[in-house]
Homo-oligomer: A and B are copies of this chain.
Amino acid sequence: MPQISQRGTEMPSSPIRKLAPLAAQAKKEGVKVYHLNIGQPDLPTPQQALDALKDIDRKTLEYSPSEGYPFLREKLAAYYHKVGLKDITENDIIVTSGGSEALLFAFFSCMNPGDEMIMVEPGYANYISFAATAGVKVVSITSKIEDGFALPSMEAFEQAITPRTKAILLCNPNNPTGYVYSAAELEQLRQLVLKYDLYLIADEVYREFTYGAEPSISAMSLGIPENVILVDSVSKRYSECGIRIGMLVTHNRQVYQTVMKFAQARLSPPLLGQIVAAASIEGTEAYSKECYEEYKARRDFFIKGLNEIPGVFSPMPNGAFYTVANLPVEDAEDFCKWCLTDFRLDGETFMVAPAAGFYRHPEMGRHQVRMAYVLKKEDLARCLVLLREALKAYNAR
């Protein structure tokens, strides 16, 4: 039997989906499982986007242009103008199969196997998977829960930079911590990127979801157009994760043209998703405001509730819809599994993601879990009860 590739062997399993079989088993036994483990918003997709599907009047569902349809790229450019990124035109945008493909294209185009990319940990676990796919070495700098997961010091970054460092990857607002980087932090990164001639790959898919006094600042506004590659997606913004429409945006023409070669090889992004995405952008201001208010209320309620549970600590996240919290347990992964296999309260339990998988140094996340507050308030309230009781029972075993 021929052998599996080394990169295939080294690919980490998704920490978000890893415990899924245990959840499936619990459900088979009739247990209700509340999912706080995955960033799958429960809010509806905008009605006008759903209507656009019913209005499709094509006879042949044909390939679209590799860079995506102009009708979508033009709408996206208009959206960027509205959020203050006035330099972005449709010719800077390549539509991808989700933000995932945009990340892969960026890695493939900017880095050679063996090159290094610096990211902040805890970080989105799939960055590590995509880096493994591209043969890129991830160098992680740890942000600390006691600092609210703020950007680590520039000294920490400079110490991590080697001649093989090619890029810094920043998720802002951050998944999994919900941290929103400040203007001062971004200015530091700008200087660093220029000093060492690095790419700044900025994942800003949670742009709309910032709850603090300061809005989230785009890397595209830092005045370093040759360095920045923006990764974006309509998934979370319009609650349409399943249509797989993301985008890569850059003013760097060489990067753009290189990404286009990867985009042409896979022929085209999903046609139907492009139609839905295009129908989601204009006229959804009220929808977006409603979603925003809903997430903000959930955050306020959920984080407060978390911190009221003895031994639990969560910083107040200012963005996205995640938080990384400390639990009073020795091994959070064991606790998460136990909740799925053993803990039941009136036939119910809950699923959260052990945070270790979001670290390159898994021991840093040993006591932590990531939770996505993508459930309605009553369900979040129930989850808080379940968590409190589960911790009590787990520690009393």
Binding site for B on A (CB under 8 A): 1-9, 11-14, 17, 38, 40-45, 49-50, 53-54, 56, 58-64, 66, 97-98, 100-101, 104, 108-113, 115, 126, 129-130, 133, 135, 166-167, 197-199, 226-227, 239-244, 252, 254-255, 258, 261-262, 264-273, 276
Contacts and interface: CB of A to CB of B under 8 A. Distances in A.
B13 A261 contact: yes
Contacts of A133: 108, 262, 265
Contacts of A267: 98, 100, 126, 241
Contacts of A11: 258, 261-262, 265
B266 A100 contact: yes
A13 B254 CA distance: 14
Nearest to A9: B258
A4 B56 contact: no
Contacts of A258: 4-5, 8-9, 11
A111 B4 CA distance: 7
Given A2-B166, A5-B109, A270-B272, 16 more contacts: A4-B254, A5-B115, A8-B110, A14-B264, A38-B63, A41-B60, A45-B61, A50-B59, A54-B54, A60-B240, A61-B276, A97-B270, A126-B266, A129-B261, A133-B265, A270-B273
A258 to B, nearest CB: 4
Given A13-B264, A129-B261, A264-B14, A63 B40 contact: yes
A130 B110 CA distance: 16
23 contacts: A1-B252, A2-B110, A2-B199, A5-B110, A5-B115, A7-B108, A8-B258, A11-B261, A13-B261, A14-B265, A17-B66, A45-B59, A45-B60, A63-B242, A97-B97, A97-B266, A113-B135, A130-B265, A133-B262, A133-B265, A241-B268, A243-B272, A244-B268
B242 A268 contact: yes
Contacts of A271: 242-244
A124 B303 CA distance: 53
Nearest to A275: B272
Contacts of A226: 1-2
Nearest to A113: B113
Contacts of A49: 61
Nearest to A255: B4
A61 B60 CA distance: 22
A11 B241 CA distance: 30
Given A98-B267, A243-B270, A266-B98, A42 B13 contact: no
A281 B135 CA distance: 38
Contacts of A100: 265-267
Contacts of A264: 13-14, 17, 129
Contacts of A66: 14, 17
A272 B198 contact: no
Contacts of A61: 45, 49-50, 239-243, 276
Contacts of A12: 261
A197 B1 contact: yes
A292 to B, nearest CB: 17
Contact of A273 (B41, B54, B130, B272): B272
A128 to B, nearest CB: 9
Nearest to A107: B5
A44 to B, nearest CB: 4
